[in-house]
Amino acid sequence: MVNPLSSDGSDYAYGSSHPIFEGRYRAGAWGLNRIQVEGYDPAEDKPIVVDSFTWDQIDRLYDRLRQLEDKNIDTVTKAEQRGEAYLRQVEIESVDGSILIPVNCGQQLYDVIDITDSRAGLEAARRRVNGLTLVYSPSRGEYQQRLLLGGV
C-alpha cells in the first residue's frame, strides 16, 4: 500500500464479537506540524519555498518545523505534495498500539479496523493494521494473533 487514505473504510471490528485479550493504545501529539519544502525551478532560475501546516496541531503545541531541501523539486505543486505527504505520515505515526486477539485468518496488513475496548475507553476507534504476528503457546496449545496498530 503506497498511499493509505484517511477516508478508507473499516474492514472488521474487534471487541464486541471478536474479543480482545490485551490491548495497548496511544494517541499523541504530532512530531511536527509544519513542513517547509525548498526546491529550485531551473526554467525560471528561482528558488521554490512552500509551507505546509496543520493549524489544529500548531494551536495545540505551537510550531514544530521541519525544513526539507530537494533540488529535484522543480514546481510548486511537487513541493506542496511533498509537504502534505510528510504531514500525512506524521499524522499516521501519532497513533499506535497493539492488540492480542484470537486468530483471525482474514486479517491483512493495512486493513482499517474498529476497536471497542471499554477498559481503555475506546468505542469503534479506527486504527490501521501495520503488523501481524502469530503467537503459539505450546504449554497451553493456544494460538493468538498480535496486531500492531497505527492511525488511519
* Residue that is last in its domain, among 75, 93, 111: 93
Model pLDDT for residues 68-121, shown as the tens digit of each residue: 999 999 999 999 999 999 999 899 889 999 999 999 999 999 999 999 999 999
Q: Domain range holding 145?
A: 12-27+96-150
Are residues 102 and 78 part of one domain? no
Are residues 56 and 86 part of one domain? yes
- Specify if 83 maps to a domain: yes
- Specify if 82 maps to a domain: yes
* Cell matching residue 11: 474492514
User: Number of C-alpha atoms within 13 angstroms, CB side, residue 68?
Assistant: 22
Beta strand pairing call for 34-41 and 95-101: unpaired
Distance in angstroms (rounded) separating the CA atoms of residues 96 and 93: 7
Are residues 69 and 58 part of one domain? yes
Number of domains forming the structure of the chain: 2
- Specify if 102 maps to a domain: yes
Contact 151, 93 (CB under 8 A): yes
- Specify if 6 maps to a domain: no
37, 43, 77, 79 from 40: Cα distances, Å: 10, 9, 12, 10
Model pLDDT for residues 2-47, shown as the tens digit of each residue: 567 778 889 999 998 999 999 999 998 888 999 999 999 999 999 9
Are residues 53 and 17 part of one domain? no
Predicted structure pTM score: 0.76
CA 72 to chain centre: 26
- Specify if 7 maps to a domain: no
- Specify if 5 maps to a domain: no
